[in-house]
Amino acid sequence: MFKTIADPADCEMRSVIRFLNAKKVKPAEIHRQLVEIYGENVMTDGMVRKWVRQFNDGRTNVHDEARSGRPSVVNDGLVAKVNEKICENRRFTIRMLFDEFPQISKTVLHEIVTHRLNYRKLCSRWVPKMLTDVHKTK
């Protein structure tokens, strides 16, 4: 009996499909061997057939194609502008920032403030997460 490999990478299975396809193994047999080694949670027989077709059509890359996603509106200039607004008035709310930057959603503004600028709420003021002794005495 063979040792089962748990949680394989997609490109690993595609490499096996490409290898066995080059040896002229039928797609059904490829799928059977994948299930035997990788377990039941491996790709379906239809997906194996799809990849065999793509490799027969000349595809050589086993990695995913780059996808075009929604472009991010967050850039360094925007983060700097948000930081300037915060420094002007530490007692701001995300809603007040949204009024200043209506093109950006509240969720993205909250992400900029909390993750990019590392601020958190403290007694209705936004302060840096890492407080020094000087900050604590103020």
**Domain spans, the chain:** 10-57, 76-116
Greatest mean pLDDT among 60-74, 86-100, 115-129 lies in 86-100
The residue that leads in pLDDT, 125 or 37, is 37
Q: Which pLDDT score is estimated for 57?
A: 94
Average pLDDT, the chain: 86
Separation of alpha carbons 99 and 78, rounded Å: 15
Res. 93 pLDDT band, cuts 50 70 90:
confident
Confidence (pLDDT) at 128: 67
The CATH classification of domain 10-57, taken from the options 1.10.10.60, 3.40.640.10, 1.10.10.1450, 3.40.50.970: 1.10.10.1450
16-19: long-range contacts, CB 8 A cutoff, minimum separation 24: 17/48, 17/51, 17/52, 17/55, 18/51, 18/55, 18/60, 18/62
For the question of whether the overall pTM of this predicted structure is more than 0.75, the answer is: no
